[in-house]
Structure 1
């Protein structure tokens, strides 16, 4: 992931807050076997004291790749929008000469994967995930010897991803003039398609923190 100086995360709290705000779905990327392409798996994840917890079906082809090479990448992307060229045109030039771009936030974790196969350890992993995604507790107990989860545990494997490095990118034109960034955020809010509104919120948040870009 290429990161310009003005796109980099401002501090650890920025990406941690962004993840905690509900950005909990990403893509696990694992090196392919013997010249094969990488295996990429979309999945929810849970943060557990800095590690990422996921579980996948046992037939998933990712397991052989992980056993061959446990060094993996997990990427989370969100708050993205396409920004038309006329919105970014510099003053004094035709709007059609403006160059379009994409805005987005991305957090990329470099990890070492640890397999979780012990039944009780898998049950604990699921309990932690349910505590995050179903906090009302409106589900049956997750126990090795109780239905429905007990009999289903053999059909999954768990992963604990030990994070070695975190790279962050918040691409919202922070090197552009303040007036232009504010104008684009207003246009995104007015357009209101897809993730336009949260994208505009990210741009305004970064604008408030950075102000005029200083190399």
Structure 2
């Protein structure tokens, strides 16, 4: 994974008011920590950081007044409505160091006809070298029949990457597609359990009255 270089400035103001002023200046408040070092509070360039963090597990080289810190995003806080980045926690890493990260799973291909593919996991927890983190894993469902399953241990991983979670955890389950009648029967059963009574249509009776 290529490194993204970002120039940072030390931050001396704190609190909500200071954070708002930083964001109005198109910058993002952040903190850099890890390896037993004291946390360093910084500001990052807003637009460049936003673009860099579009990539999962982005490797960021932070240039802080001549000091370089190789980091990974640990936590990215976003505004729940507008979606802009409010704050970033960055953890320092070293070249050659193994780290555990969650990597996005992408399904490819088409399962057999009259089936439904349920993706049980959207990410896979793996251990890999900090400067060689995979961006995503492809999981093929091409031609899978109803009843097929893919577990975490079945996902092909690149050399140097090992599974960190439970290999038996299900990633994909392929089921037979229910017919319209089955779906309607299941819906009626759920409505009956919930005490919902459907209103009968009287359009035919009204239409026949003269």
TM-score over 0.5 for the pair:
no
TM-score (norm 2): 0.21
Of structures 1 and 2, the larger Rg is shown by 2
Report the structure, 1 or 2, having the larger strand content. 2
TM-score (norm 1): 0.21
1 or 2 for the larger relative contact order (CA 8 Å, sep ≥6)? 1
